[in-house]
Amino acid sequence: MNSQLKEVLLYNPRTPLLFTAIYFWIFFGIVLAGYSIIYKKNSLRNAYLFIVSLFFYYKTSGFFVSILLVSTLVDYVIGRCIYATKVIIRKKLWLALSISINLFILVYFKYSYFFTDAFNSLFGTNYIPINYFAYMTNSLFGTHFRFEKILLPVGVSFFTFQTISYSVDVYKGLIKPVTSILDFGFFVSFFPQLVAGPIVRAAHFVPQLYKKYSLTKEQFGTAVFLILNGLIKKLFLADYIAVNLIDRVFSNPMGFTGFENLMALYGYSLQVYADFSGYTDIAIGLALLMGFHLPQNFNSPYKATSTADFWTRWHISLSTWLRDYLYIPMGGNESGSVFSYISLFIIVFFISILSGNIYVPIAILCGMCTVSFIGRLFYTFRNWIRTNMNLMITMLLGGLWHGASWNFVFWGGLNGLGIIVYKLWEKMFPKNKKRTWYKDFIGIFLTFHFITFTRIWFRSSDFNIASQMLDRIRHISFNVGVDVLIGYKWVFLTMLTGYIIHWLPTRWKKGYKNAFIHLPFLGQVVVTFIVTFFLYQIHSSDMLPFIYFAF
C-alpha cells in the first residue's frame, strides 16, 4: 500500500474528516456517487450508509470505532429483548441494563481521570487510568493505538444518548425494534450528525429507514442553503473571531484590558452559537440531500425573551432529551421522586469529590435538612421547592454532562437559577398577554446578557481564569485607545455583522432563503461557487475543530 493510499484509508489524528476540510467534500462526493446507484433499495442503502459512516468515524476518531460498534451491538440485542419480553419487571431490567452500559461507556471515557484523581487524593495512591478498549483492540487486531492515556471519543455523549433513547422508546412502545442490525447500525452512526448532533430520537428517525428516497427541488435548495449557511457561520464568524480575539483573551485575561475581556465574552457568545449551529446546519443539509430529515437544533436563541425561552431555542435536541428522559421521569414540575433523589445524590457526590473537602458534603447535608425543616413549617415554601427541585437537578446534570469541573457545575447551576427566578417573577408579576416591542426588547436584552455572563465559566479552562476575567471586566474603563479599536476593527466588524444577521426579522431571513431555493439550478451553482471561493480565501490556515467535539 503506497503512502498516498495509506493517507486516504488509515486514521491520521492530524487530518480528521471535518466538514470544513476539502477532503471531507471529496469523501462526500464519492459517497453520493455510490449512493446514487443503490438509493432505491432501502436495505442496501442503509447498509451502505452504515459502512461509510463507520469509515467516517474511523477517520475522525481511530480505534474508537470499536466503541461505537460495541454500543450498536449491545443496544440492538437489548432492544429486541425488551420488545420480546412480556413481563414488565423483566422489561425494566433490560432497559436498566441498556442505560447502565451506555452510561458506563460515557462515564469511563469522560470521567475516568476525575474519579482516579479523587481516589488517589483520598487514599494517597498513584493509580493511572489505562484505556482497556485500546489495549484489547491492539491485542485482537495487532494495531498500535495508545492505551496508556484515555482520550475522549468524539461524539460519545451524542451517540450514547441516542442509543438510550432507542431502548426507552422501544420500552414505551413508541417504536418496534429494528429487525436488521445493519439498519440499526445506520441509525446509530449516520455520519452527518454522529459526532456533534443533533441528537436523533429513535421514534423520529427509525421510521425513515423504511421510507422511499424523496428529494424535491425545494428540499434540494434548502439543503444546499443550509450547508452554505453553516460554512459561513463556522469559517467566517466563529473561526475568525476565535483566532483573532477570543482564544487569546481567555488564555490570559490579565494580559488584556477590561474592554478586551468584555468584547471577548460577547465574541464567545457569538462564536459558540455560530460554531455549533453551523455544524448542525451542515449536518441537516447533508442528511436532507440523502433523503433523511434531522430535527432542528437552534431557533435564533439570542432572540429569546426569557431564560426559559432560551432553553427552548438552544441545542433543542439536548434540552428536549433532558426534558423527556430526565426531567419528566423525575416528576417534572409536580414533585420529587425516587429518581430525583438518586440524581441529587449523584450531583452531591460529584460536588463532594470536586471540593476534596469532607466538610462540603456535610454542609450540603445540613443545608438540605434545613430546607426540609423550613418546608415542614411553611407549605408554600415546601411546594415551591418541590416544583423547582427537578429543574435545578436537570440543569446541574446538564452542566456535568459537559464535563466534571466546578466551571460546568457553576454554569449549570446559574442557568437553573435563571429559569427559577424567571418563573418566580412570572408568578409575582403575571405578564399582560399583549406583546409590545419594548417588552420584547427588555426581555431579549436581559436574557442575552445573562446567558453571555454565564459563558465566562463555560469557556474558561478553570475557575481561576474565570475569576481573572471577572476582575478585569469589573474594573473596565471605556477610555479605549484608538490603537485598540483599529487593531480589532475587523474582529469587531465581524462580530457586529454576525449579531445583526442573527437579530434580523425572521421574515427577512425566510425571504433570502426562499430567494436562493427558487433560483434556477445554474444560479445556485454560481452562488455556491462564489460563497465557497470567498470562505476558503479568508479561513485560517489551521482548521479549528467544532467546539462541541469536546463533549
Whether 441 is in a domain gets the answer: no
Q: CB within 8 A of 204, min separation 6: which ones?
A: 295
**Phi and psi of 272, rounded to 5°?**
-65, -35
Q: Tell me the pLDDT tens digit for each residue of 390-431.
A: 888 888 888 888 877 788 888 998 999 899 888 888 877 776
∠ CA 138-403-277, rounded to 5° = 95
Q: Tell me the pLDDT tens digit for each residue of 437-492.
A: 788 889 999 999 999 999 999 988 888 899 999 999 888 877 776 777 788 888 89
The predicted pLDDT at position 65 comes to: 85
With b for 16 or more beta-carbon neighbours within 10 A and e for fewer, the 428-462 pattern comes to eeeeeeeeeeeeeeebbeebbebbbebbbbbbbee
Same-domain status, 254 and 203: no
Q: For 457-525, what is the HEC assignment? A: HHHCCCHHHHHHHHHHHHCCCCCCCHHHHHHCHHHHHHHHHHHHHHCCCHHHHHHHHHHHHCCCHHHHH
Whether 525 is in a domain gets the answer: yes
Active site residues: 402
For residue 505, how far is the Cα from the chain centroid? 26
Alpha-carbon span 113 to 33, nearest angstrom: 43
Q: What pTM was estimated for this model as a whole?
A: 0.88
- pLDDT higher than 70, residue 551: no
- Of 213, 235, 257, the residue at which a domain comes to its end is 213
Same-domain status, 245 and 355: no
Whether 438 is in a domain gets the answer: no
Same-domain status, 36 and 70: yes
* Higher-scoring residue by pLDDT: 422, 432: 422
Whether 445 is in a domain gets the answer: no
Same-domain status, 24 and 146: yes
The domain containing residue 380 runs over which residues?
303-430
Whether 385 is in a domain gets the answer: yes
Nearest to 393 by CA among 346, 453, 426: 346
Same-domain status, 136 and 62: yes
∠ CA 291-196-535, rounded to 5° = 80
Q: What are the cell numbers at 538?
A: 479568508
Same-domain status, 66 and 115: yes
Other CB atoms within a 10 A radius of the CB of residue 497 amount to 13
Whether 421 is in a domain gets the answer: yes
Whether 439 is in a domain gets the answer: no
pLDDT band at 516 (very low <50, low <70, confident <90, very high): very high
Same-domain status, 190 and 125: yes
Number of domains present in the structure of the chain = 3
pLDDT band at 63 (very low <50, low <70, confident <90, very high): confident
Same-domain status, 311 and 173: no
Same-domain status, 323 and 252: no
pLDDT band at 543 (very low <50, low <70, confident <90, very high): low
Alpha-carbon span 484 to 550, nearest angstrom: 32
Same-domain status, 322 and 261: no
* Higher-scoring residue by pLDDT: 108, 143: 108
Same-domain status, 149 and 183: yes
The predicted pLDDT at position 357 comes to: 65
For all residues of the chain together, what is the average pLDDT?
84
- Of 430, 451, 485, the residue at which a domain comes to its end is 430
The predicted pLDDT at position 548 comes to: 62
What SS3 class is residue 196? coil
Check residue 292 and report its DSSP letter.
Answer: -
Q: Tell me the pLDDT tens digit for each residue of 230-250.
A: 999 998 888 889 988 999 999
- Of 198, 213, 228, the residue at which a domain comes to its end is 213
Same-domain status, 173 and 59: yes
- pLDDT higher than 90, residue 313: yes
Q: Tell me the pLDDT tens digit for each residue of 374-387.
A: 767 776 666 677 77
Whether 5 is in a domain gets the answer: no
Q: CB within 8 A of 198, min separation 6: which ones?
A: 280, 283, 284, 294, 295, 296, 297, 316, 317
